[in-house]
Every structure is written in structure tokens, then in C-alpha cells.
Structure 1
Amino acid sequence: MTTPRLHVAIELIEAIGEYLDSIGLSAADFYQQQGFNPDDEAANGYVDFALFSTLFEAAAKFSGEAYIGLKVGENFLARHWGRLGYLIMAGENGIEGIQYIQQFATIVTNALNMKWTSDSETLSCEFSLQGGTCSRHVVDYFVSSSLSLSRATTSDETHYLSVRFQHDGGPRPHFYDQFLQSRCYFNQPCNQITVDLAGLQQVSAYRDPRLKIILEEHASQVLQSLAATDELVETVQRYIVENLPHGAPTLKQTCEFLQQNERSLQRALAKQGINFQEMVDDLRRRMALEYIRNDYNFLDIAMMLGYSEQSAFHRAFKRWTGMPPSKYRRSLNQDGGEKMPGEAPGQQ
């Protein structure tokens, strides 16, 4: 229950806007349409990963571009990955760049899980994105931006040996082969990129040993800051969960427990794109879904989640899912009751 909030660097959101501007559309209009202001989030440095996925879907509709993830990735600039992007470019070669990705990927997002395997000639990265189903365009972005970064540091001729996607490839799957210049496969068990090891050994065109040392120190500092924030988030979540049966803890009560002033806590949470009240609401939602799956009665659930009346829980649940808890439970039973917490009935 007390997992850290998944985040993504604000620069990745800005990259979507920069692409829209580059094709003659207005990023400002798009952001306004979505009720999002990058300037409000810039000081925090990070936004919710789910928002990143939602904005990608919205940008695809706004632009009419079915492969916007690939296109935004093609427009990649080192600053989109912050210190990690610059560090990879200043490094010795692609091998060292991958080592930096393994060490500092959290600087860009903590939603990415990677597994690396190699043989004498190739290196493969199997990757997944946490947080349930996310936009196809997010997966495409990470595949395309990684290729753009590799081409920027070595050669425009750089390409993947193969790419495997869990998604279906959208309306024109063959477009991937052409765009990525590699063999692409869809509806696969996992996302996977395979590259030639020899290509990774090419010296970076931007190799800078002195700058690399400085950037390594900065990246380590950012990583330590994120780790401290994650630990704080877990502590706050744990306190909320443990005290929900007595009523939802207030910001003031939580700060008293942490021996921290309210403004400092709000600022620390904001760095992760988290609002305290939204955190309480999200924890209640996830716990409610799990309790219903485990067949608790609604009155007990309401009390365990700190609602003074069962009717208040029913209203909250309908706001979360669009349906009363009784209907949600019936739909779970119809689907076999195998849905994961937070997954809408009828969806895989």
C-alpha cells in the first residue's frame, strides 16, 4: 500500500509541447486545453507519471499524429533527460552510457523497470513501465529517444537490431520498421530492445572527461535527494494507512507526527508531483478496491477507510470508479474476480 508515487521529469512533458510547436501547433493551447501549466510545475521538477501518459494520449488526438511518441523521441535533446542526458553524451561511449542509465534512470523517471542481458555480440534491454496500463506513445517515446541519443553521440547510422513491443503497433505497424530502421515485433510478452555491442563501443562525439566528473557528482546528488523524498513519501503513506480507521489524518496531524512544518512537507511532496489530500484520496481508493476484492462488507470498508458514514464512502467510490461499490463488486464476480486493485472491471 505504501509504494512511492511514480514520477517523470517535467522536461519530458515539455518535450511534447516542443514537438507540437515544431509542427505548427500551439503547445500553449494544448496545455490550456488539458488544464496543465508547465510553469506551475517547473519548480517541482517532477510530475505524476500517469499525467505524462494521459498528456501523450491527448497530444496524439490534438495533433492527429498516430505515432507521436516516436516523433517526440526523434526530437530528443539532452536536456530532456536532465543531468542524465548530458552525462551520457559526455561519457566515453555507449557502454558507459548504459551504465549511467542503470545507475541514474530514476532522475528521468522511477516508473521504468529494466533487465539487461548480453552475449558475445549483442545487448538486450527488456523493460516495463510500472503503474498499470500506460499509453503506447510512452513506450514509443523511450524507444525513440534512446535511439536519438545514441545517434547524437555516435553516428546517424546507428540502429537497433530488433525491437519488441507489448502493444499492437497502432493503425500502421509497418511504420515502426521504417521509422526505427529495424525489425519490429508486436503483441510480444515484453518490451525489448536489442543492439549490436560493437556499435556501443564507438567513442562519443561529445566525450568530455572533466565535464563527466562534474555531472556524475550532480547526478548522484539528485539521486540522493530523490531517495530521501521517496522515503518521506513512504513514511507519510504508512502514517495515513495506519490511522485511517480513526478518520483520515489531516496535513497538520501528519506534520505533528513527522515533527515537520506544513510548508516544508508540502514542498517536499510537491517535488514528487504529490498533493497531500490527493495522496489520502488515492490511498483510500486503492484500499477500497482491494477490500472489495477480498469481499469485506461495505460498512466495514467505510469504517476502515475512516468514513463517518457508509453513504460518504459510497459517494467517494462512485467518484473514483463511476459506479456504486455494489455494482463494481457484481462486475468483478461476472469477470471472475481476477482483476488487480485499481483495474476497472472488464479491462485486462
Structure 2
Amino acid sequence: MPTSIGLAVHLALSELQRRGVDPAPFLVRAGLSEAALASNKRVKVRAAIEFLERVARALEDDWLGLTLAADFDLRELGMLYYVAASSARFGDALKRLDRYERIANEALDLRIVKGSGGRVGLFYNGVPRHIDRHLMEAFAVALVRLCRQLVGKRVVPLSARFMHHRADGRKIQQFLGCEVSFDAHVDEISFDARVMDLPLVGYDPYLNDLMVKSCDDALAARTPGTSPFQTEVENTITPLLPHGEAQAKTVAEKLNLSERTFARRLAAEGLSFGEILDRMRRDLAIRYLEQNLRASDITWRLGFQQPSAFSHACRRWTGKSPSEFRRSCVISAGPA
């Protein structure tokens, strides 16, 4: 399971404490240890995602990732901050982050999209993308803040895209200063190509050489992570769902596999495409109902043809109709 330094978790803990809320129930539910966090041990990324979702509901902050990333001291990123900040130009800083990001978070893969000028892609490895909103938004906000701080200017991206759903993205759009879209096929931030050549105010070739060596040593010390095939399949399905294209043949093609080989690899792990698809739909349905989306919207986002098909599936997953489950969420709202 991919791990991280848990910066977002620590920031969320501080937010809970600032508001006088006991973090213990949320940590237990997410499978996190207060003692382990106090000793700065690494945390599982999936547990961090679950923790942020629970904290967001408890604090009634549907933009928790933005809240946490908007004003923390960027130096808390540790050696990643310094290896980026001591680079010559912003494009060089991004290349450093591209190479060393997994020191801080083994699940995150930051890539400069080739041949596109200033497009930066954010990808998950070993973690299902569909379960997250807050952490991905925190990454994007932190990246834009880092750009602005390193170049000493309020750089505005051309656009930002996220794979998860939001009905109203004005809050993050206001912070980033650009058009933001959701339900996209990728998580991506686009800058003007000229931003890549902007000089950094903290350029220090001697410090940069030192930090590159330190990061290379830290990277070598990390156990190479692998992305389970199931997670690859889930992350391929995610952007296909709202378009009704989540079919085994389509997913196999996107993974450069024949349909037969695709089925054989799933079977080798004791899985089937139908099982994975159904489990993803269940997880997303529960999250969407908790977010109070309309049943008609959820029907479309999960790739069902008719509302009755979604209603039937919801009863099978939860024992309740969509409206009954939504009411139960309101009744049971709280730390649990």
C-alpha cells in the first residue's frame, strides 16, 4: 500500500484541534494511529484519503483540501520544497518534483505532459482515484502556490481539470484564478508555456546540487512501489463511467490489452470486471448520496441507463432506496 509523509493528515489534525474537535474517532475510523502520527511515521495514502473525507463531513467543509492547502508553510514539504526552490527556473523545479515526488507520497505521480508546453498531469498509482476529492485538490492548490512563491509572481494557470465530480467549482476557481472543470478524463493543470522559463527567486546552484544528491539517496532508500492491476483498472474506469463507456472491451483497449488477456489477468487475481465495476459504483453512489446529489445526477454519473436501475442497485448495496439512504445519512451525521 502506498504511503506518504502524511502532511495533509497533520494539517487536518491541526484544523480539528483549532476548532476544538476531538480527532480520535476520525483517526480510528480511518485506521490511523495518533501515536504513529505524533512520531512522524508514514501513513497509508488510502487511510489519509478516508480521514480527510470524514473530517470534511464533520467540519461541514466540503472544500477541506483547499482549506488545508491554501495557507500552510510550503517549507513543510521538506526536501521537496528545497530541491524545487533552489532550481534555476520553474520548469526545472517541476522536473525535480516529477522525479522526487514519491519520496513524500508514493501514490502521486506528477508528470510534465510532453509536447504541450505547460501542462502538468497528476496521477495516482496504487490508490483508486475515484475515492478521493480533497487530497487531489490539495495537491493542485499547493502546486500553484509553490509556483507563485518560487517565481515571486501571482502566476495564474490557463485551466485546471479534475476527474472527480463537483456541482459548483467557483471556490477553487476563485483561488486559482482560471477556468476549472470537473468530471474530466484527467487531473491536470495547464500553464502558459512561458511560465516554465520564469527564473526562481531562490536559485542556488550549490544548494540544488546538495538537495539533488539528498533526494537521490532518499529515493533509492524507498522500496519500489507497484501499482496493483485492480487499481489500474479502477483508475481507467473512473473517467469512463459518466459517459456510459465503462465496458470491459474499452478498458482493455486503454490498457493496451486484448479483451481475452484482460479477463485472464483479472481472473488470476480472483477478480472479474463486473465485480470491480459494481464495487466502484457502490462506493461512488454512497459518496454522492452523502454529498446530497440528486438521484438523476447519480444515475448518469454511474453510467446507468435508467433511474430505476440505479434505485435497484442502491437497494442491493445498502438495503435502502436512494431517498431512504440519504435520510439515514442525515440522521446519523456526526464524527462516525
Aligned mate of 1:128, from 118, 123, 126: 123
CA apart distance, 1:71: 1.7
Instruction: Provide the rounded CA distance (Å) in 1 between the counterparts of 2:49 and 2:12.
Output: 11
Q: Does 1:34 align with 2:20?
A: no
Instruction: Provide the rounded CA distance (Å) in 2 between the counterparts of 1:19 and 1:211.
Output: 33
Q: Does 1:221 align with 2:228?
A: no
RMSD between aligned residues: 2.9
Deviations 1:115-155 (A, max 9, x none): 432557x3112222232133211110110011111111113
Structure 2 match to 1:181 = 177
CA apart distance, 1:7: 1.1
Q: Which amino acid aligns with 1:78?
A: L
Structure 1 match to 2:9 = 13
Structure 2 match to 1:279 = none
Deviations 1:55-97 (A, max 9, x none): 1102212322111111211124334322112211122121111
Instruction: Provide the rounded CA distance (Å) in 1 between the counterparts of 2:5 and 2:89.
Output: 24
Unaligned regions of 5+ residues in structure 2, if any?
A: 229-265, 284-301, 303-336
Structure 2 match to 1:152 = 149
Instruction: Provide the rounded CA distance (Å) in 1 between the counterparts of 2:123 and 2:177.
Output: 22
Q: Which amino acid aligns with 2:5?
A: A
Aligned to 1:227, the other structure's residue is in SS state: coil
CA apart distance, 1:37: 4.2
Structure 2 match to 1:166 = 163
CA apart distance, 1:51: 0.9
Aligned mate of 2:195, from 199, 202, 206: 199
CA apart distance, 1:182: 0.5
Structure 2 match to 1:49 = 45
Instruction: Provide the rounded CA distance (Å) in 1 between the counterparts of 2:114 and 2:281.
Output: 39
Aligned mate of 2:86, from 79, 84, 90: 90
Q: Which amino acid aligns with 1:192?
A: E
Q: TM-score, normalised by structure 2?
A: 0.63
Deviations 1:226-246 (A, max 9, x none): 036x59xx9xxxxxxxxxxxx
Identity %: 17
Structure 2 match to 1:343 = 279
Instruction: Provide the rounded CA distance (Å) in 1 between the counterparts of 2:190 and 2:110.
Output: 13
Instruction: Provide the rounded CA distance (Å) in 1 between the counterparts of 2:162 and 2:277.
Output: 25
Instruction: Provide the rounded CA distance (Å) in 2 between the counterparts of 1:7 and 1:80.
Output: 17
Instruction: Provide the rounded CA distance (Å) in 2 between the counterparts of 1:227 and 1:61.
Output: 34
Q: Which amino acid aligns with 1:98?
A: L
Structure 2 vs 1, CA of residues 34 and 223 (structure 1 numbering), >3 Å: closer, same or farther?
A: same
Q: Is the 8 A contact 1:10 1:38 kept in 2?
A: no
Q: Is the 8 A contact 2:97 2:110 kept in 1?
A: no
Q: Is the 8 A contact 2:122 2:187 kept in 1?
A: yes
Unaligned regions of 5+ residues in structure 1, if any?
A: 235-286, 295-336
Structure 1 match to 2:108 = 112
CA apart distance, 1:14: 1.3
Q: TM-score, normalised by structure 1?
A: 0.61
Aligned to 1:167, the other structure's residue is in SS state: coil
Q: Is the 8 A contact 1:68 1:137 kept in 2?
A: yes
Deviations 1:178-216 (A, max 9, x none): 121111111111111111122232222222222222221
Structure 2 match to 1:25 = 19
